[in-house]
Structure 1
Amino acid sequence: MSVSELQQEYDEYYSARYWRKWPKGYRSPLWDVMDAEAAAHPEWSVLELKAMQYEVIAANFTPVLFRNSPFFFEMGLRPSEHRGTPDYGLPGSWLTHRNGYVVGESAPEEVRQYRQCSAHAIHLSYNFWDSHHHSTNSTNIIQHGLVSFYRQAEEELAASTDEDERVFLRCAMRGMLAMKTIAEQFAVAAEKRLAQATDERERKFMAMIAQAARRVPWQPAEHFYDGLAVFPFLYEVVGALEGNGLSAYGRPDYVLGPLYERDLAAGLITPEDAYDLIGRMLCFTDCRADKYADWSQAYNTGENGTAMSLGGYDEEGRTVGNDVTMMILRAHRELNLIFPKIQMRVTKDTSQAVQSELNRNWLVGRNVIALQNDEAVIPAQVRAGKSFADASHYTIGACWETIVEGYEHSAGANCYFNLLRILDLSIHDEPETVAATGIICDKLDGCHSFEELYGIYYGNVIREIRRMCNAIGKFGAYWPQVNPSPGYSAALFDCIKNRRDYTAGGGRYNPHALPLGGFANTIDSLLAIKKLCFERDVCSWSEMLAALRADWEGHEDLRQAAADCGAFFGDNGEESLALARRLFSDIYRDTRDLKNERGGPFQLGFYMAWEYIKWGEKTNATPDGRRKGDVIANGITPTRTHQRMALTDVLNSVGAIDPTMAAANASLDVSLPLGKLDDKILSALVRAFVATGNMQMQLNCVSKDVLADAQCHPEKHRDLFVRVFGFSARFVLLPEKWQNEIINRYSYEL
């Protein structure tokens, strides 16, 4: 496989359209067209306005085709790296920007306070719903075609007498027809190119597009190439139409494996041709990314956010691991891609061939793959009320956001909650935070027992979690008035059946993630208080409070004692596990009655993105020995202050707190010393990860000496990949503080 000419062609096109080169203050001329249509039809509902948006975009774009690509997807409407989120003045953002004011007008002071919480490191608060982290519904569309959902909508329309339902169904149908129109325009453009092209490869690819774009995504995919072509088409087109961020391709090996085997048996494709097609499809995501830009200039600081999930169980409990799985993994490695992010679903039956192909990445320091454990993730989904068959379709929306693809939008990442910051505010006075957010934590001064202290702290935690979730439920309910998505809803079970948009709860499942941050720091802090102040009498609680309020200045011995109090989360000791189980179970119990913006439940999880450093900078000294500004432990990862940690103890600790309560996901960061690993060791690690019931592992195999050399000689290490959190980056492009954070991570010995 050689796709270098295609990569060069992509680079030439996309490098001129990077976000950092996009016109500042851009406003698409299509906004004027849509404004005029809306003004001419004041009687239109918001759903009808969205359907009009679809049709204006479908009628006013110019298809972009690449001579070295057999795929059709590029509409030329947004910056190269953009995923469809309602940013800037892009065509798909029109309705959101037109209607977004309604939330702020409903209760201005309450909304203002909520939106200040992120700046004060309490919880994410950029919006009351997650307009990012959507799957493309690719499996449903490849298997059934949009036409099947269109016919279902026709049947429901004929049966419904409710006008609101009928409006939704008609607008869903208009959305599907807009996608059909867009595909047909690509077919027309390919036919024109074919008539003019003289290059044999270009003629071949244009002929393929001209035929496929008239079949898919309207009809079910009958051949491997047709199904493969649906992935980039949906990623680009749905994002352009909806104003929602697309970050999950779906499960290409699961849905394409049978098509490949059928074509292969019929003599319609060779393994070499299939591998070439896979490489050409994969590289478009990586080539769109501004890969060598400084973080300060790159869109979303270089995080492309697009993932595909491989492997895992199918609906009947069989482990997926086929030729397509292997070809995707091999192509990703041989092309040295970062994007799309590979989220590898593993089971107790994952083959050694698949495992060894994964290991080939880590053994050369290609830290670009995350592991998902179906033995933990699927039981958590089932406990959350989903069937095994449905849950088997889960995919990861970017970093860790678990989505049952085709059945739900899981709202995975708009309300990270900082448990440690609540402990901080229970200790330290911050009048500016109180004024900005309205959050007042009862202080822990005067506690005479650990139980009293835990009760006050937990009361603060659950009050603020419930306050946040209630705000999401209250103000997020405006989402259907701001940016409904009937076209997207059409292929999401059971929106057509329920005759309701997914933003209004029409999906089969309607969860909202509630990710917790600072968990390990919080457990370690509570353990230090309990042992030093209430068991060993190393110091009084008032003395520890004084040390904390002095940022440990003048109390180094006490700080060291707190950091090494004899128990910590990750030691697999009964004391730490009992406390971890208690806090997690308490939060789970006291959030089961909460309803989100679509009427569904909140799903607990353990993960944060940039916030583990950014919020650490704003979190004061804590009883685990942290000083103000130190990083917060990310996800379910132990803190890094302990002198000796065994990876087996860490894996057992995480598995022991019952991850089935964490349906949103629980992410564990693990760093291993490159040069001391082999295929056998890594395979044993993955088997232990599965057996202990962990959910997600972000694995870094690095040499600290090489990382240090890369800081001094970046020109020698241009393609040194590291796992930052839920995504990978070139180490030399990271800011120094992020480089140091990765270097300072605890490295386990195996």
Structure 2
Amino acid sequence: MASDFATHREAILEEYEEYYRDCPYDVTPVKEILDQWYEEAKDRTPYERKALVYRAAAQLCEIRIFRQSPFFFEVKTGRIRNSSQNGFPPGPGLEGWYMDKQMHYAEEFQEWIRPYRERDLIWGDIFSDLAHHSVGYDNLLAKGLKGFVQKAREQMEKQPSPAALGFYRSVIEGCEALRQIAGRFSALAQELLAGEQDQELRDNLSMIREAAKRVPWEPAESFYEALCVILFFKEMMTGLEGVAVAVLGHLDRLLEPYYIRDCERGELDYEKAKNLMAHFLIHTDARWDLTGDEFASTNNSLIIGGCDQEGNVIYNDITRMILEVYDEYELVNPKIQARISSRHPEEYFSRTAAMIAGGKNVFSFLNDDVIIASNVRMGKDLKDARLYSAGGCQEPVLDNTELNCRAFLYLSLPQLVNSFFDDSLNLFFEREDTGYEKPEHLETFEEFYENYIAKLKSIYKRLVEVLNHYGAFMREFDPCPLLSATLTGCLEKGIDMTEGGAIYNPTSMPLVGIGTAINSLLAIKEVVYDKHMLSLKELGALLQSNFEADPRMREYLLNRCPKYGMDTPEVNAFAGRIFHDLATATSGPVNNRGGRYEASLFVFYLFDWMKEQVGATSDGRLAGTALSRGMNPTDISGISNTANILHTLKKIDMTDYPGAGVLYLEMPLMKSEPGTSYLARTMKAFLEAGGSALDLNLLDPQVLKKARENPDAYKNIVVRVCGFSAYFTSLDTHIQDEIIGRTFVNG
């Protein structure tokens, strides 16, 4: 039995801190040997050159066992402490070694995008998503690495192409390397046992010694082994593949069969399993420094709830123990992505609502009915679509079958509106062959609106061409044969996931600031076309002056014009129309991996990052201030009625957006039972309204102001920033101010 987590929690954290505070560890000698190997393998396939990293980790890198933990996962590969945040730019350790040698691809792309990023029209560093990936955990747990090796060898006998042979050889080398690393953990645990007197710590070491002999090489056979496989493989992929593997998996679905089997055998009970779960989950908060960075968060997420492949609702003992561990030990990470539906039991809603009401702002809620349907609409099999996770924040990815690139390049909708008033923003259309022709006159709002959509289509068309061009180089830039082996399709085809080996291969370019854009268009319709208060030219001059030319007109635009979320028939109809038209404009083209581009409104913190060069907007927003968040109404509109917002949502078909659209609801802190019931009802109303993803944040703005002034007295306040949770006092002042300034809704 593993050591008692509750008793040893502080000692566990101290042991982790003693090791992780000195990250990144210097692995220069290892990288120098890798450089020699790379030169010797210059005539081999990219996969085989990448597989040198696996060999180096197995043969040259130290391993570390934490005596306080019953799990094995730490290899000294030179990772920074707060890794798994992004796969790019390349890290200093082995995870970045291969990509560093191919950086000319990234530099060329960055030079192309630079002028558009400088104008806050398009944001992006790299031409593919390197930060939000998942492992095919079902395949890994069921087959073990041994099963992948057997499959690779079978496929090699069919005499595939030289490239496929290189891919299979790399998979085999990677699996054998991880087998060797696990064997070293087993041997080290045996060695440490000789000098360990504490019986509970001896139990931890004994568990590691026995488990590491079997997994992940063999299929997992117990609840504990399944946890070992998930943590070990995820950490190995983050440290070796050069991409941030963000997802710990759909845990209550994955683990339930092992839990039931162990309990039936008398080898496990609820409390023992919960103890193991606490040890498993604490690693994320322990590894990452959650106090010293403006974005003191990890990318790690886990998924609960939802359904299985046959559509059966999941809410079980694993779900309960995960929630209890977070509640009792006040964990901040991994992020909890809670899949919900109208078929889930009342206990699920009330349990999560009670935690949020108590100030534990650690959840995102994902609507199964909408997200599954949106994926089916894109041609994916229903059974596959039912198995989805969220890759970091709220962006969905299908388990085992999908490589989904959807959080790496963003478009500003408000800046596109402003391009009608500021010719410098038309730089993109002047430099790129988009096919868009600027009209001489826009006599009606319908003409203005149609040209807005035409501009979006033309810019999107060109972005698709650019991303497809550079995406074709991903097999050279950073192939991932070992991670690919876990995804259904890659071994069967002999193709890496970066080339389209998975069954599904979509891409999304999320749209930022939809609320600001809608309000700007509504204002243009009213003051220019309906009431003829200003011409387009006069409105443009007013915006260029940041409203200084006529402050009273700004007040009119801000307070008198229709606003998204105010729940009138006209506004709701327009919102439904533009959501649909934007999705149509950004869905359908084929990417370089054979998948399709999918519509997305996942914007992370880009609503703040893409603000500096966005001048005043027609809705009354001042230059340089934040755009609207997710699919929210703007904060400056002051719309604060939850019922109105959700009624507006009913008029929008969110199945148009497989990449999800997040509704953020900030609410006053309410710890009483009525508050818990209200939150549960809000979640159900969100489902009924057809929302996609929901983040609830219960805060007291006055307390936040006190925390900003006296952080030592308020160290434990956890806030939902934008798809991740963080200690409020760890955030930079400008982020704290942004959170305090959000609109707090009411019933």
In the TM superposition, what is the alpha-carbon distance from 1:430 to its structure 2 partner? 3.1
Counterpart-to-counterpart distance in 1, 2:688 and 2:232: 38
Who is 2:132 aligned against? 133
Return the TM-score normalized by structure 1: 0.94
SS in 1 for 2:628: coil
Who is 1:298 aligned against? none
CA 1:148 to 1:444, structure 2 compared with 1: closer, same or farther past 3 Å? same
Who is 2:722 aligned against? 725
AA matched with 1:466: K
AA matched with 2:655: T
Instruction: Please point out which of 82, 92, 96 is paired with 1:93.
Output: 96
Instruction: Please point out which of 281, 285, 305 is paired with 1:311.
Output: 305
SS in 1 for 2:246: strand
Asked whether the 8 Å contact 1:114–1:468 carries over to 2, the reply is: no
Who is 2:348 aligned against? 354
In the TM superposition, what is the alpha-carbon distance from 1:320 to its structure 2 partner? 0.5
Asked whether the 8 Å contact 1:134–1:247 carries over to 2, the reply is: yes
Who is 2:329 aligned against? 335
SS in 1 for 2:504: coil
Q: Aligned ranges for residues 343-492 of structure 1 at < 5 Å?
A: 343-430=337-424, 446-492=441-487
Counterpart-to-counterpart distance in 2, 1:434 and 1:512: 22
In the TM superposition, what is the alpha-carbon distance from 1:264 to its structure 2 partner? 1.1
SS in 1 for 2:359: coil
Who is 1:605 aligned against? 600
Who is 2:578 aligned against? 583
Is 1:574 equivalent to 2:569 in the alignment? yes
CA 1:332 to 1:643, structure 2 compared with 1: closer, same or farther past 3 Å? closer
Bigger mean CA offset, 85-94 vs 267-276:
85-94
Residues 277-301 of structure 1, C-alpha deviations (whole Å, 9 max, x = no match): 1111100111111122252xxxxx3
SS in 2 for 1:208: helix
In the TM superposition, what is the alpha-carbon distance from 1:631 to its structure 2 partner? 0.8
Instruction: Please point out which of 659, 662, 681 is paired with 1:664.
Output: 659
SS in 2 for 1:451: helix
Counterpart-to-counterpart distance in 1, 2:225 and 2:724: 29
Number of aligned positions between the proteins: 738
In the TM superposition, what is the alpha-carbon distance from 1:432 to its structure 2 partner? 11
User: How many percent of aligned residue pairs carry the same amino acid?
Assistant: 29
In the TM superposition, what is the alpha-carbon distance from 1:727 to its structure 2 partner? 0.6
SS in 1 for 2:122: coil
CA 1:422 to 1:146, structure 2 compared with 1: closer, same or farther past 3 Å? same
CA 1:79 to 1:161, structure 2 compared with 1: closer, same or farther past 3 Å? closer
CA 1:649 to 1:143, structure 2 compared with 1: closer, same or farther past 3 Å? farther
Who is 1:187 aligned against? 186
Bigger mean CA offset, 50-59 vs 509-518:
50-59
Who is 1:158 aligned against? 157
Residues 672-693 of structure 1, C-alpha deviations (whole Å, 9 max, x = no match): 1113752211111111111111
Asked whether the 8 Å contact 2:24–2:81 carries over to 1, the reply is: no
Asked whether the 8 Å contact 1:176–1:490 carries over to 2, the reply is: no
AA matched with 1:361: M
SS in 1 for 2:127: coil
CA 1:22 to 1:203, structure 2 compared with 1: closer, same or farther past 3 Å? closer
What is the Cα-based RMSD across aligned positions, in Å? 2.3
Q: Aligned ranges for residues 232-251 of structure 1 at < 5 Å?
A: 232-251=231-250
Who is 2:80 aligned against? 79
Asked whether the 8 Å contact 1:426–1:443 carries over to 2, the reply is: no
AA matched with 2:452: Y
AA matched with 1:94: W
SS in 1 for 2:365: strand
Instruction: Please point out which of 677, 693, 714 is paired with 1:680.
Output: 677
Give the unaligned 5+ runs of structure 1: 296-300
Give the unaligned 5+ runs of structure 2: none
Instruction: Please point out which of 734, 737, 750 is paired with 2:734.
Output: 737
CA 1:431 to 1:408, structure 2 compared with 1: closer, same or farther past 3 Å? closer
Is 1:557 equivalent to 2:547 in the alignment? no
Counterpart-to-counterpart distance in 2, 1:714 and 1:309: 32
Return the TM-score normalized by structure 2: 0.94
Counterpart-to-counterpart distance in 2, 1:520 and 1:449: 22
Residues 244-282 of structure 1, C-alpha deviations (whole Å, 9 max, x = no match): 111111111101112111211211012221111111110
Instruction: Please point out which of 674, 698, 701 is paired with 1:701.
Output: 698
Residues 210-250 of structure 1, C-alpha deviations (whole Å, 9 max, x = no match): 11112222222111111111222122111122111111111
Is 1:212 equivalent to 2:214 in the alignment? no
SS in 2 for 1:170: helix
Counterpart-to-counterpart distance in 1, 2:316 and 2:151: 33
Asked whether the 8 Å contact 2:305–2:319 carries over to 1, the reply is: yes
Counterpart-to-counterpart distance in 2, 1:565 and 1:672: 25
Bigger mean CA offset, 350-359 vs 470-479:
350-359
CA 1:135 to 1:436, structure 2 compared with 1: closer, same or farther past 3 Å? farther
Who is 2:506 aligned against? 511
Who is 2:30 aligned against? 30
CA 1:239 to 1:367, structure 2 compared with 1: closer, same or farther past 3 Å? same
SS in 1 for 2:213: coil
Asked whether the 8 Å contact 1:18–1:81 carries over to 2, the reply is: no
SS in 1 for 2:63: coil
AA matched with 2:685: A
